[in-house]
């Protein structure tokens, strides 16, 4: 049967797996960028209390935050083709490619989670500060940009960092719909060689290093943003 773990196999797997890290990063990048935009739109709907839309948004956010990521991934992967293919006569599973379903799922998921972070951050700032800005002649945009936004960013920074770590870790699920990311590549290596432990140990190290790196980055950003406040205190 051979040894369960061999260092030679471990190092041989590194160049086979590492290039597929770009797939994971692309999912995280798209989900973060478009998730931020979607989250901002959701917050605007909630703050402005737009009729009908605010109810839809509440149901959407509750669903995305209350269901497992894997369920959402499967619903998007199987649900979109089931809804659109009969209507338009398409074959979306073949035309899109699995990674595009991953993009859609993670963007929708991030939009919901980030909207909750942004909404909590902006509502934690007293409206009196906005009134004070308006009373001294600032426009609504200037008041938001100079007074509200800096405090909002400071408040949202820690949970945003934690969410980013969770996003990176959850991206490991995409191999279940056929996306060849680092997890998918490890699976194919295991199938071909009958040795999976070395590949998965390397992936564990990747997740640990990147997760710690992201946490450290946001820890330093948070400290930097708090520096002036501490000095004033």
Joined tokens for residue 131: 């009134």
C-alpha atoms less than 13 angstroms from C-alpha of 86 in its C-beta half-sphere: 4
Helices (H) and strands (E) in the chain, counts: 11, 0
C-alpha atoms less than 13 angstroms from C-alpha of 131 in its C-beta half-sphere: 3
pLDDT score at 230: 47
pLDDT score at 1: 43
C-alpha atoms less than 13 angstroms from C-alpha of 83 in its C-beta half-sphere: 6
Instruction: Identify the three-state secondary structure at position 206.
Output: helix
4-15: per-residue pLDDT in tens?
Answer: 889 999 999 999
Q: Distance (Å, rounded) from C-alpha 177 to C-alpha 213?
A: 28
Q: Distance (Å, rounded) from C-alpha 33 to C-alpha 29?
A: 6
Q: Distance (Å, rounded) from C-alpha 119 to C-alpha 135?
A: 24
Torsion over CA: 23, 24, 29, 34 (sign) = positive
135-187: per-residue pLDDT in tens?
Answer: 888 887 788 888 888 888 889 999 999 999 999 999 999 999 999 999 999 99
Report residues of the chain scoring pLDDT below 70: 1-2, 227-233
* Predicted structure pTM score: 0.89
Instruction: Identify the three-state secondary structure at position 3.
Output: coil
């Amino acid at each position: 049967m051979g040894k369960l773990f061999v260092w030679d196999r471990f190092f041989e797997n590194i160049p086979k797996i590492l290039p597929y890290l770009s797939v994971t990063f692309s999912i995280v990048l798209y989900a973060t960028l478009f998730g931020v935009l979607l989250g901002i739109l959701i917050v605007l709907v909630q703050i402005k209390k737009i009729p009908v839309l605010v109810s839809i948004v509440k149901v959407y956010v509750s669903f995305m935050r209350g269901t497992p990521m894997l369920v959402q991934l499967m619903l998007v992967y199987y649900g979109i083709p089931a809804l659109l293919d009969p209507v338009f006569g398409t074959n979306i599973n073949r035309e899109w490619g699995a990674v595009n379903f991953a993009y859609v799922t993670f963007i929708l998921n991030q939009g919901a989670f980030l909207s909750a972070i942004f909404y909590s951050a902006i509502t934690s700032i007293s409206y009196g500060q906005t009134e004070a800005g308006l009373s001294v002649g600032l426009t609504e945009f200037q008041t938001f940009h100079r007074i509200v936004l800096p405090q909002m960013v400071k408040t949202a920074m820690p949970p945003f960092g934690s969410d980013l770590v969770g996003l990176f870790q959850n991206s490991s699920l995409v191999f279940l719909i056929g996306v060849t990311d680092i997890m998918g590549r490890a699976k194919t290596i295991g199938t071909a060689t009958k040795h999976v432990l070395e590949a998965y140990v390397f992936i564990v190290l990747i997740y640990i290093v990147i997760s710690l790196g992201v946490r450290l980055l946001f820890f330093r950003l948070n400290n930097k943003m708090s520096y002036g406040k501490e000095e004033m205190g």
